[in-house]
Structure 1
Amino acid sequence: MVSASAWAQPPTRTELIENLVSGVDRYNPNNVSILEDYLYHQIRSEEYDCLANLAILKLYQFNPDLYNPDVVINILIKALTSSPFPDFNLCISLLDERPIGLNPDEPDPLPTLLPLITSLHNLLQQCRFPAFWSLYLSEKAESLRDNYTVECVGFEDAVRRVVVQAVNAAFKRISGDRLSTYLNLSGDDLTAFVKNLGWDVDASGVYVIPPNPDNQIVSTVVQENIQLPQLTKIITHAAQTV
């Protein structure tokens, strides 16, 4: 899981991008092409920089003529697997005034794909992983897969990392069949993936999740100290209300 400090300032962020994101030049529309190139670097390299991508959306808000729907869709795809951070909702909040149909010769794909991407995000947040894969692999999402996520290196593995976070937090043991539907992997692919996680498997095909702070039940003892003057006030108040 990425730390909050690494989220705010990824170690892969260059000094140039840092100046564009945090400096006085962040609202300069002349810099949008640099930030867009940086986004496509993230798409190709599995790196991720939410604040830099939000800066693009903010520039689009202030400068509607710069709007590029393909860039917006790629930003949303990267934000889709940012759990547990609220990146996706932050991005959506900057799209309320997005321009539509500025160029009739090039139809805007965002109005069609935005409900689909939002549905995928909701399914991930709700931990409805089999439903996520069913929708993602459906004919309805064919355009998204063929034109966008196919270019996003490691997208499906990023989704699986979200799944692993949830399984780590909720399970001590999970059957191979169930995990297969969560990860959309089976056979040797599932075995290799789980091996890299370091999980053990028993003879019945049940995977054992290593103990961690989230999947261990720890009893908590709460001790309250009530002083005599406080108790006297409570009794007096109770007597007055009878």
Structure 2
Amino acid sequence: MTSATSEWVTPPTRPELIENLVSGVDRYNPTNVGILEDYLYHQIRSQEYDCLANLAILKLYQFNHDLYNPDVIINILVKALTSVPFPDFNLSIALLDDRVPSANVDEPDPLPTLLPHLTTLHSLLQQCRFPAFWALYRSDELESLRDNYTVEVVGFEDAIREVVVRSVKTTFQRINTKRLGMYLDLSGSELDEYIERLGWKLDSATGVVEIPANPDNQIESSVVQEDIKLPQLSKIISHAISSA
């Protein structure tokens, strides 16, 4: 198990109480849903993230429709966006019941309206269409998502930029600041400061950013050497002659 996978399964910030709930049969006890929901809002305020604990909430909603809370589901999906390319968002979607109940007959349910947009945002991130992601995210259509949800998620936009950085690091050795700025939704001094925090080298004269070498952005030629013994070669030649 890689370090990244290990931290995904058991985040170092997960409290012992939550570990016991997630790892044991108590994860299916509906009376514990409040504890898990409180933990979700702790993640939102503290920039921590625990996918398995959040999936446990959705599983409880799936088994107990009376527990359904659309705001909690939307927050889980928003946090899952920041985990791309991990499959957290799709795992969360898979646990949503097709028969979404109404949380409160007196108030409109925001989930049916926002779910298609959240799914599109996720697809754009997966496809590395970052300028399109920011354009949709900043659009008037998603004003309610920004004003009611992502504004509460501490560091949400920077977490999305970390998704961008992971992709850029595996793809580029050099990239111009105009393209990088579009990917990060940053410009001017904000972009320069962000590049400096990353430790990347910016040539102000050319506007080119150098990405430090890593195993993913280095092209290395490989030589494949066939080791065929003489008896094997003789068999190949004999078979070719007999087949002629």
Q: Tell me whether the two structures share a fold, i.e. TM-score over 0.5.
A: yes
- 1:225 CA displacement: 3.3
Q: 1:212 aligns with which of 214, 225, 233?
A: 214
The worse-fitting range, judged by mean Cα deviation, of 104-113 and 115-124 is 104-113
**2:218 aligned partner, one-letter code:** Q
Q: Residues 90-239 of structure 1: matches in 2 within 5 Å? A: 90-101=91-102, 103-202=104-203, 203-226=205-228
Cα gap change, 1:94/1:233 in structure 2, threshold over 3 Å: closer, same or farther? farther
| Distance of 2:110 and 2:232 partners within structure 1 | 65
Letter matched to residue 60 of structure 1: Y
Root-mean-square deviation (CA), in Å? 1.9
TM-score (norm 1): 0.93
| Contact 2:47–2:154, Cα closer than 8 Å, also in 1 | yes
Shift of 1:241: 6.2
Aligned to 1:54: 55
Structure 2 CA distance for aligned equivalents of residues 187 and 211 of structure 1: 25
User: Does the aligned pair in 1 maintain the 2:124–2:132 contact within 8 Å?
Assistant: yes
Task: Report the Cα offset of residue 239 of structure 1.
Answer: 6.1
Q: Following TM superposition, by how much is the alpha carbon of 1:187 offset from its aligned partner in structure 2, in angstroms? A: 1.0
Alpha-carbon distance in 2 for matches of 1:133, 1:115:
16
C-alpha distance 100-236 of structure 1, shift in aligned 2 (>3 A): farther
State the AA in 2 paired with 1:22: S
Deviation at 1:236, TM superposition (A): 6.4
Alignment of 1:9-24 (within 5 A): 9-24=10-25
Deviation per residue, 1:26-56 (Å, 9 max, x gap): 1000000000000000001100000000000
Partner of residue 66, structure 2:
65
| Structure 2: distance between partners of 1:236 and 1:142 | 74
| Unmatched tracts of structure 1, length 5 or more | none
User: Within 1, Cα distance between the matches of 2:12 and 2:59?
Assistant: 23
How many residues were matched structurally? 242
Q: Percent identity?
A: 71
Structure 2: distance between partners of 1:237 and 1:111: 66
Paired AA for residue 216 in structure 2:
D
C-alpha deviations, 1:79-111, integer Å up to 9, x for none?
Answer: 001022111111011114352325321221111
Report the secondary structure of 1:25's partner residue.
Answer: helix
Q: Are 2:195 and 2:202, in contact at CA under 8 Å, matched by a contact in 1?
A: no
Question: What SS class does the counterpart of residue 120 from structure 1 fall into?
Answer: helix
Q: TM-score, normalised to structure 2's length?
A: 0.93
Alpha-carbon contact 1:172-1:210 (below 8 Å) kept:
yes
Alignment-mate amino acid for residue 168 of structure 1: K
In 2, Cα distance between the equivalents of 1:119 and 1:61? 23
Paired AA for residue 13 in structure 2: T
> 1:74–1:148: 8 Å Cα contact kept in structure 2?
yes
Structure 2: which 5+ runs fail to align?
A: none
Is the alpha carbon distance of 1:231 and 1:60 closer, same or farther for their aligned partners in structure 2, counting shifts above 3 Å? farther
Aligned-partner residue type, residue 227 of structure 2: N
Amino acid at match of 1:123: L
